[in-house]
Chain A
Amino acid sequence: MKQRVSPPRAFLRGIPITVWMLVLVIGPLALTFLMSFYSTDGMQIISTLTLKNYALFFTDPLYVSVLAKSMIVALIIAVLSILTAYPLAYLVSFRLRRGKQLLFMLSIIPLWVSYLVRIIAWRTILGNKGVINSALLAIGAIREPLTFLLYNRFAIAITLTYICIPFVFIPVYTALEKIPRNILEASSDLGAGELRTFFTVVFPLSLPGLVTGFIFAFIIALGDYIIPIQLGGTQGIMFGNLIWNQFGFAFNWPLGAALGFILFGISVVVLTATSRFGTTEGGFLSE
């Protein structure tokens, strides 16, 4: 029997959160898993267990190919996000004396600006009558609007990268900030130039943050379906759309549940990699 708080009493404070977890996390996910083994006849959901949804996933080339393409696009987006966010984080962390706090805030702000607003912005920029086209037309660089900008994977990639950049920035910046500056001094003291120091000291030490950022970006990009709808057109179907469709007119919830669960599985696997190779979920949920 501990004196600080007796165990029975201590567990009381865990009740609200456990109830929440059962009702809003475990319950829904469990039922979805169950639902993935049901089927539908177009009107109703038949609750006899069957594997046909998963079978469909593996046999119908549509699903696997869309998933594969989505994963590749997500990968590309993650890479692009890193190429933009990492240098920025390095700049703010290592090259700035004053105004570091301010620049950090400025880099984060796009994260808290509405997701929808950012989508709207990019539709505006990339459209036929959008900013880029208007500008290029006006200066006579092109005669007709560029159509490849919008309604395809390119548009999806740019917009999602834009969304993901802050998600990569934060863990990378945190990791960079944690590097003790006297290590850099020691490195240069021992004769390494800045580039060398970067590759041999800074980069390896920042790797956990980079991995975390990469994985966050990947997951966000993989699961998104709104951006593909808004900016992807007919070419830009991503795996999220396939799931989404099942809950719309198609009304094939069991199939949607199965596809959703596959996405869940992939996400969990990828996220486990974060805890192994990346930083802890501290990331952007700690102060």
Chain B
Amino acid sequence: MAGEIAIELKGVRKAFDEVIAVHRFDVGIRKGEFFSLLGPSGCGKTTTLRMIAGLEEPTEGEILLEGRDVSRVPPYRRNVHTVFQDYALFPHMNVKRNVWFPLKMKGVSLADAKERIERVLRIVSMEGFERRLPQQLSGGQRQRVALARSLVDEPAALLLDEPLGALDFKLRVAMQKVLKDIQRKVGITFIYVTHDQTEALTMSDRIAVMKDGHVHQVGTPDEIYNSPATAFVASFIGDMNFLHGRLVSYDGMGCTVDVNGRTVKAARAACLLGDEARNAPGTDAAVKAGGDVLVCIRTERVQVNPPRETEHGIEGTVKRIVYRGTDYEATCAFADQEIRAVVSSVTWDPAVAVGSRVRIGFNAADVSIFPRSEESMIIQYSSEAV
């Protein structure tokens, strides 16, 4: 991937009267990158996208497009286009004229534009639909036309605001592949807003995880998943256990914690330093020895009666088993805590039932530690909360 920066946000901040939609965003998005903005509703991802498009103006900070400061430049003079959630195809124009529109605004006649329109329609597999009106198209077709319209004049980047949000599941998965293919084929920078973590993980080169206007982490899918920077990221992506423990000692990279009297070593604990790079609220407090921490392990990394020896093991009782087709989710209790394990159906031992005493195993490499103060930012959906 070329190292050239296509879009850069420097200290971008957006406030609507008293409400701060985006606290501070610093990032450099590379040319040709598929960059996602991920987070729950209201986290500021759409606002950020609109600022890049020019539909909102940042309260502070700069937005640079290909090196040029466009913070005060109106949207029609920026070389980026948006694919809106409801596509916004002009209903009084047919497909051809809709796609022609950006070129028309640049002064290109319909005749001159013909070839480019046809080419871009072929890229989105909508050739032959030129004369149709938007009302006559299905949702997926409209989306592809909207995409074509935004690509036809070869902008520097494409901004997509939850474009697959209105589609049903199977169609959405299919369209994810289509979008990714087009992005790779055309080589254009994509900035993609979504609240669906699977979508972000499968499609993106890098992801910015946001909550309540704060950027918790910017990284590759692997980094986000396996090295979450805050408890929020840990909870929002994938399925994570959060146990309570106390810090015993910290040795630079990893640390040792005490969980209900058992000693557990953890591999990742850089957050305990109070790293200012994590600019989310509640993440600045460093934890000292004896302080409370969250002990986090991915549910798929927790083993029940592991065949091979694991670094750590806890005796527990099975409280609940849920069969999910591809796997089993077992909730086990030990001391005053609960831990969930997701075990593939292939390796599941049918002898394990509710009430069984089992051995829960996991390795230090799978354990992340966060300050206990970050517990409030966790997103967990339990039946009590509903």
Which residues of A are in contact with B by a Cβ distance under 8 Å? 1-4
Across the interface, A1 reaches (CB within 8 A) one of B55, B56, B57, B75, namely: B57
CA distance A268 to B302 in the complex (A): 71
Q: Jot down 10 A-B pairs with beta carbons below 8 A, ordered by A.
A: A1-B57, A1-B72, A2-B57, A3-B54, A3-B56, A3-B72, A3-B74, A3-B75, A4-B55, A4-B74
CA distance A4 to B72 in the complex (A): 11
CA distance A3 to B51 in the complex (A): 10
CA distance A152 to B358 in the complex (A): 96
Dominant SS at the A interface? loop
In the complex, number of A-B residue pairs with CB atoms less than 8 Å apart? 13
Residues of B within 8 A of A1 (CB): 57, 72
CA distance A2 to B16 in the complex (A): 12
Interface string of B20-61 (1 = CB under 8 A from A): 000000000000000000000000000000000011110000
CA distance A2 to B54 in the complex (A): 10
CA distance A4 to B54 in the complex (A): 8
CA distance A3 to B75 in the complex (A): 8
Which residues of B are in contact with A by a Cβ distance under 8 Å? 54-57, 72-75
Closest CB in chain A relative to B50 CB, distance in Å: 10
Residue of A nearest to B72 (CB): A3
Closest CB in chain B relative to A9 CB, distance in Å: 12
CA distance A111 to B56 in the complex (A): 46
CA distance A104 to B74 in the complex (A): 47
Closest CB in chain A relative to B231 CB, distance in Å: 37
CA distance A1 to B57 in the complex (A): 8
CA distance A3 to B57 in the complex (A): 7
CA distance A1 to B74 in the complex (A): 11
Residue of B nearest to A1 (CB): B57
Closest CB in chain A relative to B5 CB, distance in Å: 23
Residues of A within 8 A of B57 (CB): 1-3
CA distance A151 to B73 in the complex (A): 72
The 8 closest A-B pairs by CB, nearest first: A3-B74, A3-B57, A3-B54, A2-B57, A3-B75, A4-B55, A1-B57, A3-B72
Closest CB in chain B relative to A2 CB, distance in Å: 7
Residues of A within 8 A of B74 (CB): 3-4
Closest CB in chain B relative to A6 CB, distance in Å: 10
Residue of A nearest to B77 (CB): A3
CA distance A3 to B73 in the complex (A): 8
Residues of B within 8 A of A4 (CB): 55, 74
Q: A3-B54, A3-B75, A4-B74 are in contact. List 8 more A-B contacts (CB 8 A).
A: A1-B57, A1-B72, A2-B57, A3-B55, A3-B56, A3-B57, A3-B72, A3-B74
Residues of B within 8 A of A3 (CB): 54-57, 72-75
Residue of B nearest to A4 (CB): B55
CA distance A256 to B75 in the complex (A): 57
CA distance A1 to B72 in the complex (A): 9
CA distance A191 to B167 in the complex (A): 38
CA distance A156 to B57 in the complex (A): 61
- Quick one: which of A2, A3, A4 has the most chain B CB within 10 A? A3
Residues of A within 8 A of B56 (CB): 3
Residues of A within 8 A of B75 (CB): 3
CA distance A282 to B31 in the complex (A): 50
